[in-house]
Chain A
Amino acid sequence: MKILISSHRSLAALVHPGNSSDLGLLVRIMAALVRISSVCYRGVRPLLFRASSLIRPLAVQKKDRDCPYFISAKIHATPSNYAGSGSKAASLHWTGERILSIALLGLAPVAYYYPGPAVDYSLAAALTLHGHWGLGQIVTDYVHGDFKIKMANAGLFLLSTVTFAGLCYFNYHDVGICKAVGLLWSK
């Protein structure tokens, strides 16, 4: 948007009112078209419209008459325009979820070819966290109301803590996750 404004300003600066040459006229038409297209803003299309309208200025005249309105809307500005909160927490959480998923995908063949305590504990951590975040999304989707949300998340946190503790206990005192799967499948 800022680019649009600055480009139209620079174009406007090029216009010399007294210039009657063909080149000057073309530049003036271009400036006008930029302004028309920016007034008749309709999502991504004005960018395309602008390019094509330079080729067909006659078509623009009709378009000019067709869209006397302009879009007025309340816009959620990006966090950088905010006076107040500018937290990237949600975005980072999303990215973290994807990275963890990929890590878990990579752990599977490693667990098969190199079973052992390192992979066991990594699996315990990755599985628990992946499950915790996944169930957290479900809570966000279906649970509404401040108190209920708090209670659901507290319960989830408790469940995930117990799960991780149990898996670590199993890894330490018992055969471990990789060996357990191996034993189960050998029967």
Chain B
Amino acid sequence: MALLLRTVARQGLCSSRLQFGVLYRHAVPMGTTAKEEMNKFWTKNTRLNRPVSPHVSIYKWSVPMMMSISHRGTGVALSSGISAFALAALVLPESYPYYLDLIHSMSFGPQFLAFSKFALAFPVAYHTFNGIRHLIWDLGKGFRIPEVYRSGYIVIALTVVTSIGLAAM
């Protein structure tokens, strides 16, 4: 009975403190979206010419960090490559086999050819395997730190093996 009285009294206390904030029960929706909030942040801070605190320049690099930016980097590189290829297809007069034979006639040597195949296969393989890792995260799995590192090392190993295998083909 005393417990009941105490909780009822507390509830009375709660409602009187409403002016200090929103009781979680009565969730009041905000009037702005996340995008609007972000825009407000950036316009205000660029207007005031505020410097950005050092982040990438001072924080100790970790394997997951490096793999994450590499995923983005390989994505940009591959996308640029595809766009360059498409642009070349539109602009260049001759056909693809012609240019391929042209490069082949320059007789660069088998090691160069194998290396260039490796150089092409590596970003594709890395982005693909790390992409699968991202999809697994999207399922909600593998977020614990040891799991993140483990999956990361597996991706790196698979990338190297696949790239060598593809270059040898």
Query: Which positions in A face B, CB cutoff 8 Å?
Result: 1, 5, 15, 28-29, 31-33, 35-36, 38-39, 41, 61, 64, 70-77, 81-85, 98, 101-102, 105, 108, 127-128, 131, 134-135, 138, 144-146, 159, 162-167, 169-170, 173-175, 180, 183-185, 187
Contacts and interface: CB of A to CB of B under 8 A. Distances in A.
B57 to A, nearest CB: 16
B128 A105 contact: yes
A73 B21 contact: yes
B7 interface: yes
Interface string B1-16: 1011011101100100
B46 A162 contact: no
B3 A32 contact: yes
B89 A72 contact: no
A70 B89 contact: no
B90 A162 contact: yes
Contacts of B14: 39, 70
Given A175-B97, A187-B113, A159 B83 contact: yes
B72 A138 contact: yes
B86 A82 contact: no
Contacts of B4: 15, 28, 31-32
B96 A162 contact: no
Contacts of B104: 187
Nearest to A20: B1
Nearest to B27: A75
Contacts of A72: 17, 20-24
Interface in B52-87: 72, 75-76, 78-79, 82-83, 85-87
